[in-house]
Amino acid sequence: MTSRPASDGELDAPTDLSPPPDARSQGGGPAPGPDPVEAATVPEGHRLVRASGLTGLDVVTLEGNRAVEVKDVVFDKAAGTLTGFTLRKPGLLGGPQKSVLPVSGVQAVGRDAVMIPSHAVLAGPEELVGSGDNIIGDRVITDDGTELGIVVDVIASVHDGVADVIGFEITASANADPDGGLLLVPMPAAHSMSGEAVVVPARVREHLSRDLDGLQASVRMFRTQQDEA
């Protein structure tokens, strides 16, 4: 691991009380200060999103114009980051769209739309490192050799041109949870990924959760613990 996304500074330093400087403060008004640790993980106004849930979202400029919608999410496995989005024309019959949306051009990802400053942030396909959503189907295995499950979704926080992959949703193996079902695995700051598996520290097993709030707490706890280790 040589390159980490800039946002990891926030995540790895939960004691930093100052909120990241960004455009959100413009219209914010005197909002009560959020829990600093919370703010360090996912700043106010942003939420964790499932990568699968982004397909079909409208891409809208801050002027209210729409050109495209999200087709797929592109990851760079080597860096462990989400690099951007492939696009399609709106509508069920929407054809492919050559241009792509790099994460650097994303203002925010909300429930209902991906916000961009203007169409100028759309770029040629060569601007995106990585390929498709092929993390899906990878095995998640601990460094002591326990398979936790198979990746079915990726959980990320995307805002102000920065994407942070927070964790994975997996179909739990019997080793991870005898009850099976879906589990959320926090993404450690240090990890390795290949075309076939994501290797995580064994301690991640103590931080599995079943909902995004739980994942949020896990990421916080796990990454804090990791700092102290």
Select the residue interacting with other proteins from 18, 21, 27, 229 (CB under 8 A). Answer: 27
d(CA 126, CA 114): 21
Q: Is 65 in the site for other proteins (CB under 8 A)?
A: yes
Three-state secondary structure call for residue 226: helix
Q: Is 91 in the site for other proteins (CB under 8 A)?
A: no
Select the residue interacting with other proteins from 111, 120, 228, 229 (CB under 8 A). Answer: 111
Select the residue interacting with other proteins from 1, 3, 6, 28 (CB under 8 A). Answer: 28
Select the residue interacting with other proteins from 113, 150, 189, 199 (CB under 8 A). Answer: 113
Give me 11's structure tokens. Answer: 């995540």
* DSSP codes of every residue in 83-137: EEEEEE-SSTTPPEEEEEEEGGG--EE-SSEEEES-GGG-B-GGG--S-TTTTTT
CB of 44 to other proteins, least distance (A): 9
CB of 130 to other proteins, least distance (A): 22
Q: Is 118 in the site for other proteins (CB under 8 A)?
A: no
Q: Is 109 in the site for other proteins (CB under 8 A)?
A: yes
Question: For 140, which DSSP code?
Answer: E
Residues that bind other proteins (CB under 8 A): 23-24, 26-31, 45-46, 57-58, 60-66, 107-115, 159
